[in-house]
């Protein structure tokens, strides 16, 4: 992860965490372990303020590597940050009623750089209730993005791990960020070559833009229904505020293809050389 982080920063400047000249900057890492990206951010920004969250080892989390300011990382499940996601009343009959967490970030606590690269891994399933499986990916992504954007300084940077440029939810994230920031998609050669994964680097993020507020509200709504709602409520939350396929292609199709081309080309290059494509 450190090599990937170094490549990502070298090519995009992703980890330069300073919106105020002369100040060391501040970093929020929503899913820090094992800490490769955080260690790069700390090295690029000496003396920066750091707050990180990471799944505890008891929940399937990984240890934090030296150099990533392990003492600044709080071990918790970010999908359970109910109060930070605007929910204070938990239904008593909810399967995880006693596991939701109180606020961990003050409303006025803002950061120059937010890293949102957490993703659901198969080994994590044994540590959580079975009802969460089908919606866990959405819960994790929306919790990271809503909390991260809400605590990003005006003009700050967000680094977001995404999968499949052409997937509807990925296009939705890209389209939303494009309305209030400058966005670049980048696929590192190391570790991501044949996979669908890549990074969205959003710079100059205008958190105070009305579209940013709408995005935060939408992601919180998806998290809330994915956590507490019925299947129908969850489906409605995913569709709410989204354009039709035709409208999206008319409005955003050229931007999507222009930016996605470099990711597709990189993946195609590595797939052409992969051992499993040779026969």
DSSP single-letter state for residue 201: E
pLDDT at 19: 78
**113, two tokens:** 């750089």
At residue 279, the pLDDT reads 67
Q: Considering its fold, how many domains does the chain have in total?
A: 1
- Domain of residue 78 covers 2-277
**Cβ count near 275 (within 10 Å):** 7
Q: Do 193 and 147 form a contact (C-beta atoms < 8 A)?
A: no
Burial of residue 130, with CB atoms counted within 10 A of its CB: 0-12 exposed, 13-18 middle, 19 or more buried: exposed
Check: CB of residue 228 under 8 Å from CB of residue 244: no
d(CA 180, CA 210): 9
**DSSP summary character for residue 237:** H
Q: Count the alpha carbons within 13 Å of 25 in the hemisphere toward its beta carbon.
A: 20
Distance of alpha carbon 87 from the chain centroid = 20
Let me know: does 170 contact 189? Beta carbons within 8 Å: no
Q: What is the DSSP letter of 125?
A: G
Secondary structure, 3-state, 158-177: EEEEEECCCCHHHHHHHHHH
pLDDT of residue 62: 82
Query: pLDDT (tens digit, 0 to 9) for every residue of the chain, 279 residues total?
Result: 789 999 999 999 999 987 788 788 999 999 999 899 999 999 999 999 999 999 988 888 888 877 657 778 999 999 999 999 999 999 999 999 999 999 999 999 999 999 999 988 776 777 787 888 899 999 999 999 999 999 999 999 999 999 999 999 999 999 999 999 999 999 998 777 778 899 999 999 999 999 999 999 999 999 999 999 999 999 999 999 899 999 999 999 999 999 999 999 998 888 888 777 776
Point out which residues pair with 183 in neighbouring strands. Answer: 202
- Which pLDDT belongs to residue 150? 98
What is the residue whose two structure tokens read 């051992």? Answer: 275
Neighbours of 126 (CB within 10 A): 8
How far is 121 from 167, CA to CA, in rounded Å?
19
Rounded Cα–Cα distance for residues 244 and 92 (Å):
37
User: CATH number for the domain including 81?
Assistant: 3.40.50.12760
């Amino acid at each position: 992860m450190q090599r990937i982080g170094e490549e990502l920063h070298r090519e995009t400047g992703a980890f330069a965490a300073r919106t105020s000249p002369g100040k060391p900057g501040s970093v929020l890492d929503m899913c820090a372990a094992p800490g490769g990206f955080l260690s790069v951010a700390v090295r690029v920004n000496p003396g920066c303020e750091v707050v990180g969250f990471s799944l505890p080892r008891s929940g399937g989390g990984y240890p934090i590597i030296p150099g990533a300011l392990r003492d600044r990382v709080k071990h918790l499940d970010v999908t359970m940050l109910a109060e930070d996601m605007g929910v204070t009343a938990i239904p008593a009959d909810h399967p995880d009623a006693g596991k939701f967490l109180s606020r961990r970030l003050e409303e006025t606590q803002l950061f120059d750089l937010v890293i949102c690269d957490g993703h659901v891994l198969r080994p994590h399933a044994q540590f959580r209730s079975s009802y969460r499986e089908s919606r866990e990916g959405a819960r994790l992504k929306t919790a990271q993005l809503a909390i991260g954007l809400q605590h990003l300084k005006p003009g700050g940077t967000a680094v977001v791990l995404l999968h499949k440029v052409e997937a509807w939810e990925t296009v939705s994230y890209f389209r939303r960020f494009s309305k209030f920031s400058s966005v670049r998609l980048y696929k590192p050669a190391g570790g991501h070559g044949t996979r669908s994964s890549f990074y969205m680097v959003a710079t100059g993020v205008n958190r105070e833009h009305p579209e940013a507020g709408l995005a935060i509200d939408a992601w919180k709504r998806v998290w809330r229904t994915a956590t507490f709602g019925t299947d129908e409520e969850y489906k409605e939350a995913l569709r709410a505020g989204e354009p039709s396929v035709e409208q999206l292609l008319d409005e955003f199709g050229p931007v999507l293809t222009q930016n996605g081309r470099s990711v597709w080309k990189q993946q195609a290059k590595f797939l052409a050389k992969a051992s499993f494509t040779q026969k």
